[in-house]
Amino acid sequence: MKVNDNIFDAIVIGSGISGGWAAKELTERGLKTLVLERGRDVKHVKDYPTTNKYPFEFEHRLEVPLKLREENPIVSKCYAFNEDAEHFFVKDKEHPYKQEKPFDWIRGYQVGGKSLLWARQTQRWSDFDFEGPLRDGFAVDWPIRYSDLAPWYDHVEKFVGIAGNRDGISSLPDGIFQPAFPLNAVEDHFKEALQHHYTDRYVISARCAHLSKPEPIHMEQGRVKCQHRTLCQRGCPFGGYFSSNAVTLPWAEKTGNLTLRPFSVVSSILYDEETQKAKGVRIVDTNTKESFEYYAKVIFVNASTINTNLILLNSTSDRFPNGLGNDSGVLGQYVAFHNYSTRVYADYDGDLNAYKTDGRNPAGGGYIPRFRNLYKQETDFLRGYATGFSASRSTYQDTSSTGAALRDSLLNPKLGHWWVGAQMMGETIPKKEHGVFLDQTEKDAWGVPLVNISVGYDENDDKMSKDFIAQFSEMYEKAGFHNIHSSRDDQPPGLDIHEMGGVRMGRDPKTSMLNEWNQLHACKNVFVTDGASMTSTSTQNPSLTYMALTARAVDFAILALKKGDI
Amino acid sequence: MNRREAIASMAILAGGMWLMKSCSSDTKSASIILENYKMTKDLEDVLSQITKTILPLEGHEPDEIKNLHLFVMKMLDDCHRKEEQLIFTEGLVELEKGEWNKRAKPFTIASQQERTEMIALLNDMEDNKIKKCYEIIKRRTIQGYNNSAYLMKEKGTYELVPGRYNGYTNV
């Protein structure tokens, strides 16, 4: 190692959706930045080996072989874990963790992280979310409001490219949008039925990070219009959807200020007792098992919610015996998620049978913003749910026969009926007893203690699920749907892949880890801007908010560096 | 009936010779490499005849369709539990013996017409080992057919790059 080649202006831990943004913003502003990624490198297009394959080009026609499923029962539950994308998911067997309570932890250990795999839904949060804990008396008050984040949502949306309509709904602020992917006939029918029967329930085109009409900035990124393949989890050769791999990391690289180091597990952040700041990080090279130290003036922790908690918990010093910045004792606590357990389905039969769909909708269909307990408390549970709503009409084959009759029916599929499905996305309440902690006995292959997860549902979630079923059954009935039925999985939390908290933001250092700039109250040059920083979970998909928080925190950090504050 | 099928039939006619053969060490193994499941070439041939009877060829199909039984074997090898594999083998041997119905006979010596009738009988059969085996064959045969290049590309049932979405297409 050359002298000083381990010194940077900034270090970013993690290269997923928020780490990629930290890298982009820091390098663009001239900071020599080291991005540490525990997994392998994945270069845009070049490292998407399955992206252009037809189903018949997969040995098992996309089915995951039994051995792989049996060895990895948790990740096998994830909807996107199929033969075409299994190489982008962490295998349970390779990276064990402890579950004091069952938790399906879905991970992507590679450059780009889960930004390759995400569901690409990008709804802004609103003050109904940021004011939630204060109004309803849980967690702690968010130290920011929507107006603090609004310009940063703008900033991020312009660069990412979001398809959506300006719907003018108070609980779901409008943003800077490209044309939305329109609803289909039956989704529109439901939208109109809700408008007719309710004053507060809207079906909108789900807003998503797909390019429907690329602007010059997106062409400069080397991306083109989304081609409606909906094979996103394989990585997109068109750059049709946003990922760190396709967008922020190549952008950061172009500045000449980026150093990307894959195969680097961060074991801890190093605290300098003299300067009372973090001086760098210690990593283990996963290939050689050698330890290295890297130093920088500012550190962004974007390792994904649970791993960010793990790194801080494992960063102990005389000053911080219980984890970096953990004066309050709340590090690792108040972890929550989205309740995705409940769905309501129905069939449609009516005039719209004159229509079917053609092609594929990358937005996935409609989105219904939260309507429960919005302006005031109106149920026996706190908060509410947003809903993914979609209608579809596909063809089916009669496979009951054999011989020539069977062949004929396979070659001539029949058009089925329309059906609709609603997926609940419920806010859950962060609690002290729900969180993560270091296992006292077991360590991973790199000498880092295993993380133990203890997060679960509560009575509030149960009541909310029941309400969701009741409300959607009623709404479906009013829309004239029939054969209404619901399902409620007893799946543990985790498959929503929206775990948040543990390093929460707050106004008071006694009850929170981060201030309004995502800066550790007690160690000013460390910023946490991934899901770990979230004070509450809202009902909206959180990635867009992580990106906005990251860009905002980098801006603050750079000013603070210039002023000599950190 | 081709030469190999004829030989196999003779073996069966020769009083259970064929079954003995499938247990002996010099038995010819399947024509593709299987890692988790053992299958003899004889049983493979039976399987091939069954898949072609469940889903008869029109004559002009490419090899991937003519060899759909290889896909069934591949899936059996990699995607089925040990217990299912055992039931499959036992079911297939029983099926081939042709003693499961008074209208059944060994598949390998039956005429195409008789095979077609037997498949129809299997299709309506009550649940047992033979039926379980049959159902795996049928399900995997249909899966292989639906997910073939022949259907997806030649017959155009799948678009890799649609480039569009229309939620109001007239039926």
Domain count along chain A:
2
Strands of the sheet containing A98-99, edge to edge, are: A98-99, A449-454, A435-443
Confidence grade of residue B22 (pLDDT, cut at 50, 70, 90): very low
Kindly tell me if the per-residue pLDDT of A137 is higher than 90. yes
* Cβ neighbours of B148 in A, within 8 Å: 56
My answer on whether A160 and A248 are in the same domain is yes
My answer on whether A326 and A471 are in the same domain is no
Per-residue pLDDT tens over the stretch B48-59: 999 999 999 999
Q: What is the pLDDT of residue B12?
A: 41
My answer on whether A358 and A326 are in the same domain is no
* Cβ neighbours of A354 in B, within 8 Å: 170-171
Nearest CA in chain A to B120: A402
Per-residue pLDDT tens over the stretch B68-97: 999 999 999 999 999 999 999 999 999 999
Per-residue pLDDT tens over the stretch A183-241: 999 999 999 999 999 999 999 999 999 999 999 999 999 999 999 999 999 999 999 99
Per-residue pLDDT tens over the stretch A381-404: 999 999 999 999 999 999 999 999
pTM: 0.94
* Cβ neighbours of B171 in A, within 8 Å: 353-356, 415
Q: What is the pLDDT of residue A273?
A: 97
In a domain, A210, yes or no: no
Per-residue pLDDT tens over the stretch A287-306: 999 999 999 999 999 999 99
In a domain, A16, yes or no: yes
* Cβ neighbours of B36 in A, within 8 Å: 67
Per-residue pLDDT tens over the stretch A494-506: 999 999 999 999 9
Confidence grade of residue B23 (pLDDT, cut at 50, 70, 90): very low
Q: What is the pLDDT of residue B18?
A: 39
* Cβ neighbours of B147 in A, within 8 Å: 55-56, 61-62
Kindly tell me if the per-residue pLDDT of B27 is higher than 80. no
- Indicate yes or no: CB of A354 within 8 angstroms of CB of B145: no
Nearest CA in chain A to B148: A56
Alpha carbon of B8: minimum distance to chain A alpha carbons (Å): 24
Q: Testing the interface with B: which of A60, A227, A393 to mutate, by most B Cβ within 10 A? A: A60
Concatenated DSSP letters for A22-81?
HHHHHHHTT--EEEE-SSB---TTTT-TTTT--GGGSTTTTPPPHHHHHH-TTGGGSTT-
Kindly tell me if the per-residue pLDDT of A515 is higher than 80. yes
- Indicate yes or no: CB of B169 within 8 angstroms of CB of A357: yes
Give me the domain span that covers residue A418.
165-205+341-428+457-491
Q: What is the pLDDT of residue A45?
A: 98
Confidence grade of residue B16 (pLDDT, cut at 50, 70, 90): very low
In a domain, A232, yes or no: no
My answer on whether A101 and A117 are in the same domain is yes
Kindly tell me if the per-residue pLDDT of A407 is higher than 90. yes
Alpha carbon of A83: minimum distance to chain B alpha carbons (Å): 12
Alpha carbon of A368: minimum distance to chain B alpha carbons (Å): 18
Q: Choose the final residue of a domain: A491, A509, A544.
A: A491
Q: In this prediction, what percent of chain A has a pLDDT beyond 70?
A: 99
Q: What is the pLDDT of residue A64?
A: 98
My answer on whether A423 and A396 are in the same domain is yes
In a domain, A226, yes or no: no
Q: Nearest-5° angle of CA A184, CA A190, CA A192?
A: 100
My answer on whether A170 and A273 are in the same domain is no
Average pLDDT, chain A: 97
My answer on whether A251 and A349 are in the same domain is no
A356–chain B Cβ distance below 8 A for any pair: yes
Count of CB contacts below 8 A, A vs B? 122
Alpha carbon of B70: minimum distance to chain A alpha carbons (Å): 11
My answer on whether A275 and A328 are in the same domain is yes
Kindly tell me if the per-residue pLDDT of B11 is higher than 70. no
Per-residue pLDDT tens over the stretch A251-277: 999 999 999 999 999 999 999 999 999
Q: What is the pLDDT of residue A4?
A: 66
In a domain, A386, yes or no: yes
Kindly tell me if the per-residue pLDDT of B19 is higher than 70. no
Q: What is the pLDDT of residue B28?
A: 86
My answer on whether A366 and A418 are in the same domain is yes
My answer on whether A444 and A525 are in the same domain is yes
Kindly tell me if the per-residue pLDDT of A19 is higher than 50. yes
Nearest CA in chain B to A356: B169
My answer on whether A440 and A469 are in the same domain is no
Q: In this prediction, what percent of chain B has a pLDDT beyond 70?
A: 84
Residues 6+ apart with CB under 8 A from A324: A269, A271, A278, A312, A315, A316, A317, A520, A523, A526
Confidence grade of residue A543 (pLDDT, cut at 50, 70, 90): very high
My answer on whether A120 and A15 are in the same domain is yes
- Indicate yes or no: CB of A402 within 8 angstroms of CB of B54: yes
Spans of all domains in chain B: 27-155
